[in-house]
């Protein structure tokens, strides 16, 4: 028994199992979740939601139904992946600011363009839109697409919806799969339909030629596409970047002020991007990129976007507009990646390929549709021919019916001419009955015939219906036999869709020069940098500092004179130097709180302590002394710190070491190292070697066991006194005797 069990064990490398499982998972996400189908432009969750609404009878001209009912029914029947993904799909399909054509008509709070989310599904209601019902879900009863089993094989669902236009291009799509992503912009319905018609008439048409009809993306939010000349390459390859700007209008306000009004935003700003834009505009004023802003207000409503920026009277409006384009997301980039599922595999599509796949799908759907219709018309014709023939011998048929024992006997006589057992009034009737030869379908129709159908007018109507049926059969056979006839029917449907649902293009496409900001020369002003013990920093003008000098010196840990056009740097105990512009700091009143230094530099207040804050102006002409906790000392030429990076390693530290002191060195500078155990060692700069910033340095003071440098004091030999406080004692450093480096120092008394 054990041998048999061992034979069933299949040994496989763990890496092989992981590789196969991950590939299966990735393909499942790509095909069945994240990417749209090129034929109907829908992801599975969207397709299932729309089909479920169709099955529930939630028509565009009927009553709304609770979103929770739609979501629950879709999840239970077709999409067992959680209710949030279904509701999110439902919400997005209803948002006309995201979709070129909304496929769901939402009733209630379905979110807005400023990023507010939709209300919970138990509060909102929805129904199909007319275009979704008539052009994505119609003809499902005509065997136009394949139906496949649902996840538990208790229901059937369409593998694709019979879309009559390229929904992929009109509504666009976005999604992230495993190792790939799609980002297809929405387009104008009328333009896509004209391009589709052009392809039907000429299958050899190129993407460049199709762009005579599809000039580029048409975003629901409008805006201006500024790189028109780059679009042909994007549509040839299916990949590229579309540059889009918001639309600005200039109005005059009372008092001579100018109003810069943003009426359209880039498509990429939908959602939280609007609030971020407002913050960025405010930051332009705070950082003094501009001083022209008087007020900012968001007056947007259901009627549309209206963001108003009030400027001073003498403001340079054109330069300010360029500043908005350059420094905010009012000009942004939409990354095009036209990736979709085609022939059951992901494919990056050109404009021509996207339209080609849709046209091929249209021909396939219409072939199946007219095949079904032709079959129904032929069956109808067969019945009608039987009824017309029956009307001509109605007296004989009535005699057969009256003389038969049951339905089966009467039907056998009508189909096969069997007269045995039927009572006829005349011998001639029996002979004529034996000559009858109706089909099964005709016989059933005759047996179900109501007497009122024998009225003369009804018989005439029947003959007229027969003529119509014959004409339909001829029409359907012509459509199925001739490609140009089917093409005419497809074009007729496209023209009807265009007439009913098309709208004017919203996005303007042009070649626009890159925004150039002419920065006004900034007047250089003396400033004072203040940073309190909590790390909040700001700058004030020197006059304000002089008026509040006593309070400023008491309340702040670091006070540095600087220029408004200059830079400052912070040396930290971790051996880093963080640089930042003075213009990045808030400038205002003395009592303003300021900003944490973390916000304007790479300083990490959780893990670093400030050792020195100083101006970076002329840093390359300076020399810096570094002293560490383990008594390593050196000086470094300032040119090594004249770099563009905001954060650099100012010195190398050993393990468990940290920087205790930094100072700008002069010939008169001396250093006093004070150890934890109370030893003091004073050395002058001639004792300090020059090293690179990447070097550790040399030992400055010989430390005893369990001792370390607790504080470092820097002094000037020319000063009369230099009183410092150490271990609760006041010491005049000037009276300490200089000693050689690497000495033990003297014990503090």
Under DSSP, the state recorded for 101 is S
Under a CB-based contact definition with an 8 Å cutoff, are residues 349 and 340 in contact? Answer: yes
Crossing angle, helix 351-392 and helix 394-403, to 10 degrees? 80
Under a CB-based contact definition with an 8 Å cutoff, are residues 535 and 492 in contact? Answer: no
From CA 309, how far away is CA 532, in angstroms rounded?
A: 34
Crossing angle, helix 483-501 and helix 189-201, to 10 degrees? 170
The alpha carbon torsion through 145, 149, 150, 151 (nearest 10 deg) reads -140
Residue 342 CB partners (closer than 8 Å, separation 6+): 38, 349, 353, 357
Residue 185 CB partners (closer than 8 Å, separation 6+): 172, 217, 219, 242, 267, 334, 336
From CA 397, how far away is CA 433, in angstroms rounded?
A: 8
Instruction: Considering only CA atoms, give the Rg of the chain.
Output: 42
From CA 449, how far away is CA 624, in angstroms rounded?
A: 111
Under a CB-based contact definition with an 8 Å cutoff, are residues 349 and 234 in contact? Answer: no
Under a CB-based contact definition with an 8 Å cutoff, are residues 620 and 639 in contact? Answer: yes
Under a CB-based contact definition with an 8 Å cutoff, are residues 7 and 14 in contact? Answer: no
Q: How far from the centroid of its chain's Cα atoms is residue 99's Cα?
A: 13
Query: Which residue is catalytic, options 22, 25, 123, 474?
Result: 123
Under a CB-based contact definition with an 8 Å cutoff, are residues 93 and 85 in contact? Answer: no
Q: Where does 482-600 have alpha helices with state H?
A: 483-501, 542-547, 549-555
Under a CB-based contact definition with an 8 Å cutoff, are residues 83 and 71 in contact? Answer: yes
From CA 360, how far away is CA 355, in angstroms rounded?
A: 9
Crossing angle, helix 483-501 and helix 351-392, to 10 degrees? 110
From CA 740, how far away is CA 686, in angstroms rounded?
A: 10
From CA 268, how far away is CA 428, in angstroms rounded?
A: 86
How many CB atoms lie under 10 A from the CB of residue 667?
A: 8
Under a CB-based contact definition with an 8 Å cutoff, are residues 220 and 99 in contact? Answer: yes
Under a CB-based contact definition with an 8 Å cutoff, are residues 188 and 100 in contact? Answer: yes
Three-class SS of 352-386: HHHHHHHHHHHHHHHHHHHHHHHHHHHHHHHHHHH
Under DSSP, the state recorded for 30 is I
Known catalytic membership, residue 545: no
Of residues 222, 226, 175, the one with CA closest to residue 337: 175
From CA 297, how far away is CA 308, in angstroms rounded?
A: 5
Under a CB-based contact definition with an 8 Å cutoff, are residues 267 and 334 in contact? Answer: yes
Under a CB-based contact definition with an 8 Å cutoff, are residues 440 and 446 in contact? Answer: no
> Residue 670, CB half-sphere, CA atoms under 13 Å: how many?
21
How many helices (H) and strands (E) are present in the chain, helices listed first?
21, 35
Per the rule left: phi > 0, alpha: psi between -120 and 50, beta: everything else, 581 is: beta
Phi, psi dihedral angles at 135 (to 5 degrees) = -125, -5
Under a CB-based contact definition with an 8 Å cutoff, are residues 334 and 244 in contact? Answer: yes
Catalytic residues: 123
């Amino acid at each position: 028994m054990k041998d048999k069990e061992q034979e069933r064990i299949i040994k496989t490398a763990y890496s092989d199992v992981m590789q196969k499982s991950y590939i299966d998972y990735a393909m499942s996400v790509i095909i069945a979740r994240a990417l749209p189908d090129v034929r109907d432009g829908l992801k599975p969750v969207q397709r299932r939601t729309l089909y479920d609404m169709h099955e529930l009878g939630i028509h565009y001209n009927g009553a709304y139904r609770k979103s929770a009912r739609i979501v629950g029914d879709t999840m239970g029947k077709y999409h067992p992946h959680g209710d949030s993904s279904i509701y999110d799909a439902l919400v997005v399909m209803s948002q006309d600011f995201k979709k070129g054509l909304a496929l769901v008509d939402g009733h209630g709070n379905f979110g807005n363009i400023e990023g507010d989310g939709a209300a919970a599904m138990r509060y909102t209601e929805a129904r199909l839109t007319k275009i979704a019902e008539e052009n994505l879900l119609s003809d499902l009863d005509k065997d136009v697409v394949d139906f496949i089993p649902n996840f538990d094989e208790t229901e059937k669902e369409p593998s694709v919806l019979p879309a009559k236009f390229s929904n992929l291009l009109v509504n666009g799509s976005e999604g992230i799969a495993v190792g790939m992503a799609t980002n297809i912009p929405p387009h104008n319905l009328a333009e896509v339909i004209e391009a589709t018609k052009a392809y039907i008439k000429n299958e050899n048409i190129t993407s460049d030629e199709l762009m005579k009809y599809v000039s580029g993306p048409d975003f629901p939010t409008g805006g201006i596409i500024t790189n028109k000349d780059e679009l042909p390459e994007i549509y040839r390859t299916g990949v590229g970047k579309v540059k889009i700007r918001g639309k600005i209008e200039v109005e005059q306000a009372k008092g001579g002020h100018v109003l810069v009004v943003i009426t359209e935003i880039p498509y990429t700003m939908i959602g939280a991007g609007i609030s971020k834009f407002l913050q960025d505009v405010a930051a332009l004023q705070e950082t003094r990129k501009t001083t022209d802003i008087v007020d900012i207000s968001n007056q947007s409503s259901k009627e549309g976007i209206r963001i108003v920026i009030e400027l001073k009277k003498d403001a340079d409006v054109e330069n300010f507009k360029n500043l908005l384009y350059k420094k905010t997301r009012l000009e942004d980039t939409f990354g095009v990646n036209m990736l979709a599922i085609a022939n059951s595999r992901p494919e990056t599509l050109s404009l021509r390929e996207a339209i080609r796949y849709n046209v091929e799908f249209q021909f396939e759907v219409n072939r199946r549709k007219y095949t079904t219709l032709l079959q129904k018309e032929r069956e109808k014709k067969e019945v009608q021919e039987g009824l017309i023939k029956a009307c001509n011998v109605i007296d004989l048929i009535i005699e057969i019916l009256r003389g038969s024992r049951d339905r089966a006997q009467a039907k056998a006589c009508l189909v096969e001419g069997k007269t045995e057992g039927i009572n006829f009034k005349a011998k001639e009737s029996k002979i004529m009955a034996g000559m009858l030869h109706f089909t099964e379908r005709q016989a059933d129709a005759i047996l179900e015939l109501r007497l009122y159908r024998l009225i003369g007018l009804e018989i005439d109507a029947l003959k007229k219906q027969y003529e119509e049926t014959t004409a339909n059969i001829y029409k359907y056979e012509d459509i199925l036999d001739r490609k140009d006839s089917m093409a005419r029917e497809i074009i007729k449907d496209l023209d009807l869709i265009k007439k009913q649902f098309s709208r004017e293009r919203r996005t303007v496409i042009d070649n626009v020069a890159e925004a150039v900001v002419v920065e006004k020369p900034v007047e250089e002003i003396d400033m004072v940098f203040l940073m309190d013990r909590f790390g909040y920093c700001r700058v004030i003008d020197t006059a304000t500092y002089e008026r509040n000098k006593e309070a400023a010196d008491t309340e702040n840990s670091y006070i540095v004179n600087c220029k408004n056009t200059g830079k400052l740097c912070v040396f930290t105990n971790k051996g880093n130097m963080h640089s930042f512009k003075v213009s990045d700091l808030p400038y205002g009143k003395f009592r303003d709180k300021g900003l944490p230094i973390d916000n304007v530099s790479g300083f990490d207040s959780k893990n670093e302590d400030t050792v020195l804050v100083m101006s970076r102006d002329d840093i390359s002409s300076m020399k810096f002394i570094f002293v560490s906790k383990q008594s390593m000392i050196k000086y470094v030429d300032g040119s090594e710190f004249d770099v563009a990076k905001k954060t650099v390693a100012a010195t190398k530290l050993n393990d468990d070491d940290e920087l205790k002191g930094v100072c700008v060195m002069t010939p008169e500078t001396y250093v006093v190292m004070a150890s934890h155990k109370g030893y003091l060692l004073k050395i002058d700069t001639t004792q300090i070697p020059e090293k690179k910033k990447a070097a550790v340095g040399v030992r400055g003071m010989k430390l005893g066991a369990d001792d370390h440098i607790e504080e470092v004091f820097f002094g000037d030999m020319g000063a009369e006194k230099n009183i410092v406080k150490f271990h609760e004692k006041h010491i005049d450093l000037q009276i300490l005797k200089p000693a050689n480096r690497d000495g033990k120092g003297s014990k503090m008394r």
